[in-house]
Structure 1
Amino acid sequence: MKIAQIAPLAESVPPKLYGGTERIVSYLTEELVAQGHDVTLFASGDSVTNARMVACSDVALRLSPAVRDHLPHQVVMLEEIRRRSHEFDVLHFHIDLMHFPLIRGFADRTVTTLHGRLDLPDLKPVYQAFPDIPLVSISNDQRRPMAPVNWVGTVYHGLPVGLLPFTEKPVGNYLAFLGRISPEKRPDRAIEIAARVGMPLKIAAKIDNADKAYWETVIEPMVKSHPNVEFIGEINEHQKAGFLGNARALLFPIDWPEPFGLVMIEAMACGTPVIAFGCGSVPEVIDNGASGILVGSMTEAVENVEWALRMDRKKVRATFEKRFSAERMARDYIDIYRSLPGVRTKAAPLRRANGQGLDLRVVA
């Protein structure tokens, strides 16, 4: 298939540091290429891929001091996509909802994966105005707040199986917290859990501008007052393997409707069990007792740390390989692409008009 992957421009694909959506776009794009598909990636110019590359900005917008407003760059990307839309069997968007008016004429050859939370009231009028756009959720729980829309599937995230190596015997005796410093991620809970069980806690996290006040007034004082807590800051992909692999367990003490929670399967890939509060997607991602432990309170979290430390790390890794590989993720998306009405009825004529052969392997 000829597939367009359209990534956000805020971060590169893959991102240099934090950026869950861009990381998933990278894993999906590379796996689709490996499976023999003709993939074009629309992304920032500093992205790295084996697919065909269309640079829609010089560098990731978040990392460019010259960029003050992201919107003009995104509009330019959308115009390039509109101009070239006839070249592709399917166009896969990862940019939320800005493209909806643009794709009206070829929406039946598109998929939009929604990567964020959907319980914000401002979103409802938009999705009510575009009920026909094919949408993919990253967990079933993510769908709960939405008005009736055109869901075409749920696809759980996946990682390349060789990305994060399995660590059978971690050298660290610490608990880990990885993600963002924000109220909904509850790093305060992580600090309290580690203190109550008497274990060191290492926090590797990004601090967004919007969360600086929360860091300065709540979390930073807690870090300073707990000698068992080490704040590392934002880490890159290469540092992640050692950080997660050498942890005895990952704490995921969230307090919001998490759409997926990529860090959970990153820990699982390393064989590191996850102690997670059962919000949002968490019960869909964690196999309780196999890859981690689901808890509903601070007391339960503290009481179950010892159980997590005794879990079979080989079983944690095996659960990851069975459920959350990039290969499985790509297969799931291909199944969705081939089920789209426009792919079944319009892709072949487009190929002939473009003077190209057909390799859709679908029946109308």
Structure 2
Amino acid sequence: MRIAQIAPLYEPVPPLAYGATERIVHYLTEELVRRGHDVTLFASGDSRTSAALVAGCERGLWRDSSAWDTSCHHVRQLEQVARHAREFDILHFHGEPIHFPLMRSLGCKHVTTMHGLMLAHDHGPLLREFADAPLVAISESQRKPLPEANWVRTIHHGIPADALPFDDAPRGYLLFLGRIMPGKRPDLAIDIARRAQMPLKIAGVVHPGEREYFQKTIKPLLHQNAAFVDYLGEAGGPARSRLLSQASALLLPLEWEEPFGLVAIEAMACGTPVIAFRRGAMTEIIEDNVSGRLVDDIDGAVAAAGQIGSIDRRACRRAFESRFTAARMADDYIELYTSLCGALAPATHDQTRRYAPSLGSPHTRGAHARAR
């Protein structure tokens, strides 16, 4: 199949550190290419992919100090998609749903994975207006605020089976890994670790809109509990992998209805159990006493931390392998693409046409971008 993957432009694909959506787009794209599909990735120019890359901006917008109005770059990306839309069998969108009017006008086969929290007041009118737009949910929980939307599938995220190292000898610390924001409650992670008398490592990005929360709420707690809390800032690459694989448990004391929680399956891939509040998608991801513990409050989390050694880390890894690999995710999406396309007719595809280089000089297919 000829497949277009359209990623948001905030981070490169894959992201340097934080960026769950871009990470999933990367894993899906690479698996589709590996299986022989003709994939084009619309993403930032600093992305690394085996697919053909069409750059909507020079670098991830959150990494570009010159970028102020991110909507300008996303509108430009839509024009790039529109110009070549009929060359693909299906267009798969992963960003905010600003493409709905364009897709209705073009009449191309398309699908949108909704990666964020669904808000009835905001998304409801939009999805009623575009009731014909096919949507993928990343969890059953995500669908609950808008069950009437045109959900065509629920497809859980997956990561490559060899993406992270398994470790059956944890180093005795608890881990909070993720965006530092009120809904994820890093302050509760500190309280849980203090009461459980276990060291805590915190690694996470602080986005501009959450800097005041970090300065006023989290930073004082870090100073007060410096004896057992180690704040590492944003972690990526091998450092992130080591943090996950060597932790005794990952803490997710969620206050919001987490749409998925990619870090949970990353921990499971390492054999690291997850202690999570019974919120959002956690009830779909965590198998109680197998891949972690589902708890209702701080007391439950403290008790779970004290008993976390009873969970078999190899069984935790097997739970990941059975449900959350990139291969399984790709199977689900390919099945969906085929269903949406029906009896596929060849896309209009002039092999002699090439995309004009969007920024700078063209690169080659592979580790860098290529202008197609």
Q: Quick check: 2:89–2:346 contact (8 Å CA) kept in 1?
A: no
Deviation at 1:125, TM superposition (A): 1.3
1:44 matched to which residue of 2? 44
1:238 CA displacement: 2.1
Deviation per residue, 1:99-157 (Å, 9 max, x gap): 01000045561110000000252222111110110000000010011152211101100
Which residue is equivalent to 2:328? Answer: 328
Q: CA deviation at 1:24?
A: 0.4
Distance verdict in 2 for CA 1:119–1:354, change over 3 Å: same
In structure 2, distance between residues paired with 1:320 and 1:107: 38
**TM-score when normalising by structure 1:** 0.94
Cα displacement (A) at 1:306: 2.2
Q: Counterparts of 1:27-38 in structure 2 under 5 Å?
A: 27-38=27-38
Q: Does 1:198 align with 2:158?
A: no
Task: Look up the match of 1:79.
Answer: 79
Q: Is the 8 A contact 2:203 2:232 kept in 1?
A: yes
Match of 2:342 in 1: 344
What is the rounded CA distance, in whole Å, between the counterparts of 2:107 and 2:300 in structure 1?
46
SS in structure 2 at match of 1:260: coil
- Deviation string, structure 1 residues 23-49 (Cα, Å, up to 9, x no partner): 000000001111111110000000000
Question: Aligned AA for 2:50?
Answer: N
Q: Name the counterpart of 2:135.
A: 135
Q: Give the Å deviation of 1:244.
A: 0.8
Q: Which amino acid aligns with 1:221?
A: P
- Aligned residues: percent identity? 49
d(CA) in 1 for partners of 2:80, 2:233: 37
2:23 partner letter? R
Give the drift of 1:237.
Answer: 2.6
User: Per-residue deviation at 1:182?
Assistant: 0.9
Map 1:1-364 onto structure 2 (within 5 A): 1-106=1-106, 109-119=109-119, 121-146=121-146, 148-170=148-170, 172-226=171-225, 227-340=227-340, 343-345=341-343, 347-351=344-348, 354=350
Deviation of 1:350 after TM superposition, in Å, equals: 3.0
Q: Which has the higher contact order (CA 8 A, sep 6+)?
A: 2
How many angstroms does 1:309 deviate by? Answer: 2.2
- Preserved CA contact (<8 Å) 2:86 2:108: no
Shift of 1:307: 2.2
Counterpart of 1:359 in structure 2 is none
Structure 2 CA distance for aligned equivalents of residues 39 and 349 of structure 1: 15
Note the alpha carbon deviations across 1:174-208, whole angstroms, 9 max, x for none. 10000011111011111011000111000001111
CA distance in 1, matches of 2:81, 2:72: 14
Q: CA–CA distance in 2 between the matches of 1:257 and 1:107?
A: 34
Q: Aligned partners of 2:103 and 2:124: how far apart in 1?
A: 19
TM-fit CA distance, 1:96: 2.1
Whether the 8 Å contact between 2:254 and 2:276 is mirrored in structure 1 is: yes
Q: Tell me which residue corresponds to 2:365.
A: none
What's the TM-score, normalizing by structure 2? Answer: 0.92
CA distance in 2 between partners of 1:108 and 1:137 (Å): 21
Kept in 2: contact 1:249–1:309 (CA 8 A): no
How far residue 329 of structure 1 moved from its aligned partner, in angstroms, is 0.3
Q: Distance in 2 between matches of 1:42 and 1:349?
A: 21
Give the match's secondary structure for 2:190. helix
RMSD over equivalenced CA pairs, Å = 1.5
Residue 9 to residue 355, structure 1, CA distance change in 2 (3 Å)? closer
Kept in 2, the 8 Å contact 1:128–1:147? The answer is no
Letter of the structure 2 residue corresponding to residue 71 of structure 1: S
State the 1:291 CA deviation.
0.4
Q: Secondary structure at the match of 1:157?
A: coil
The DSSP-based 3-state class of the residue aligned with 2:136 is strand
Aligned mates of 1:66, 1:256 — CA distance in 2: 32
SS in 2 for 1:103: helix
Q: Deviations over 1:212-258 (max 9, x none)?
A: 11111111111111121111110013211100111101101101010
Runs of 4+ in 1 over 6 A off after TM superposition: none
Partners of 1:217 and 1:64 lie apart in 2 by 26
Structure 1: gaps (5+ residues)? 357-364
Aligned 8 A contact 1:107 1:134 in 2: no
